[in-house]
């Protein structure tokens, strides 16, 4: 299922459930719900979440910076030959990686930065940094599309936000879970108990096909109708 559909469905249904439960929806709750709706696809470099968080223009800037660094090492660090040439060559290889691979490199650097410099947010900087690096190395629809992913994300939210608002972790966990359930509608399905081979697969659609677009649009319309009934027709907001 496409990222935009995940965003609408997971966010809309989650906020509607909270509305029906008479929970007060704050900006932090809404923000966590939105992020959680897209978070399972963090293992896909070209996903909606990563393409917005690490846009192509930033990748191009990183490429130019790497080319400049490689050139500097090659031409102005002769005292360290031949290691300067080897290092310049390695940097050059990285700088000309495809966008998908370069985005993975950027994720690894961000994760490493959180681990090395996020002292103010210990232990969460270590946890989140490690998770970002792990997700950059995982295949798509791997561990992030399992019950362990749901439980892990809900636990992180619970221990980091429960003292502030005990609804945030519920919203984040439900939004994350809805993403997985939406992916289970596709012909690929998900493996919720990885590494076991069993797949949760309803095979109602194939992403990117005409029929898939029709099914996605149908669920999006149902979500919009639910949001309308909960928040507008009943006068909840």
Average pLDDT of the residues in 135-146: 85
Q: How many CB atoms lie within 10 A of CB 200?
A: 15
**49 in a domain, yes or no?**
no
Q: What pLDDT score does 79 carry?
A: 77
Most confident region among 90-94, 113-117, 161-165, 230-234 by mean pLDDT: 113-117
pLDDT at 49 exceeding the cut of 90: no
Helix pair 147-161, 124-137: axis angle to 10 deg: 160
Q: Are residues 40 and 155 in the same domain?
A: yes
Statement: residue 169 has pLDDT above 50: yes
Per-residue pLDDT, averaged over 23-51, amounts to 91
Q: 82 with 160, same domain?
A: no
Tell me what the pLDDT averaged over the chain comes to: 88
Same structural domain, 180 and 203: yes
Q: For residues 20 and 92, state if they share a domain.
A: no
In a domain, 5, yes or no: yes
Q: Number of folded domains in the chain?
A: 2
Q: Domain range spanning residue 150?
A: 1-44+141-237
Alpha carbon 94 to its chain centroid, in Å, reads 23
- What is the three-state SS of 29-47? HHHHHHHHHHHHHHHCCCC
DSSP 237: -
97 plus 147 within the same structural domain: no
Residues 6+ apart with CB under 8 A from 224: 8, 12
Last residue of a domain, one of 83, 105, 139: 139
Confirm whether 193 is domain-assigned. Answer: yes
Q: Which two tokens stand for residue 236?
A: 């909840």
Q: Which of 104, 121, 139 is the last residue of a domain?
A: 139
Residues facing residue 160 across a β-bridge: none
Which of the pair, 149 or 208, is modelled with greater confidence?
A: 149
Tokens of 30: 């809404």
- Mark whether 24 and 133 lie in a shared domain: no
My answer on whether 5 and 65 are in the same domain is no
Higher pLDDT, 236 or 122: 122
Tally of CB atoms within 10 A around 223: 20
Residue at a domain's end among 91, 122, 139 = 139
pLDDT at 179 over 80: yes
Cα 152 from Cα 108, distance rounded (Å): 20
In the predicted model, is pLDDT for residue 222 greater than 60? yes
Chain length of the chain: 237
102 with 171, same domain: the answer is no
Answer yes or no: are the C-beta atoms of 11 and 175 closer than 8 Å: yes
50 occurs within a structural domain: no
- Clarify whether residues 134 and 191 are in a common domain: no
Higher per-residue pLDDT: 166 or 39 = 39
Q: Give the residue-averaged pLDDT of 119-123.
A: 79
pLDDT classification of 199: cutoffs 50, 70, 90: very high
Is 163 inside a domain boundary? yes
Residue 237 has pLDDT above 60, yes or no: no
Confidence of residue 234 (pLDDT cuts 50, 70, 90): low
Q: Could you give the CA distance from residue 50 to residue 43 in angstroms, rounded to a whole number?
A: 9
User: Is residue 18 situated within a structural domain?
Assistant: yes
Mean pLDDT of 149-165: 89
Q: Is the pLDDT at 146 greater than 60, yes or no?
A: yes
């Amino acid at each position: 299922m496409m990222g935009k559909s995940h965003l609408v469905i997971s966010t809309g249904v989650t906020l509607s459930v909270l509305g029906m439960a008479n929970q007060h929806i704050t900006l932090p709750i809404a923000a966590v719900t939105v992020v959680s709706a897209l978070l399972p696809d963090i293992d896909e470099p070209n996903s909606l979440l990563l393409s917005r968080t690490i846009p192509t223009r930033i990748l191009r800037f990183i490429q130019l910076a790497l080319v400049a660094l490689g050139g500097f090492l090659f031409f102005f660090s002769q005292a360290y030959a031949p290691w300067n040439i080897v290092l310049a060559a390695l940097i050059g290889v990285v700088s000309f990686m495809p966008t998908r691979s370069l985005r993975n490199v950027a994720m690894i650097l961000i994760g490493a930065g959180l681990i090395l410099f996020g002292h103010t947010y210990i232990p969460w900087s270590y946890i989140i940094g490690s998770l970002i690096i792990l997700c950059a190395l995982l295949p798509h629809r791997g561990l992030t599309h399992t019950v362990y992913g749901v439980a892990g994300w809900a636990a992180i939210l619970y221990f980091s936000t429960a003292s502030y608002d005990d609804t945030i972790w519920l919203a984040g966990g439900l939004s994350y879970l809805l993403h997985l359930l939406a992916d289970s509608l596709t012909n690929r399905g998900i493996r919720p108990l990885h590494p076991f081979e069993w797949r949760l697969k309803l095979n109602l659609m194939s992403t990117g096909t005409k029929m898939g677009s029709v099914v996605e649009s149908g669920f999006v319309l149902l979500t919009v109708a639910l949001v309308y009934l909960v928040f507008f027709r009943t006068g909840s907001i």
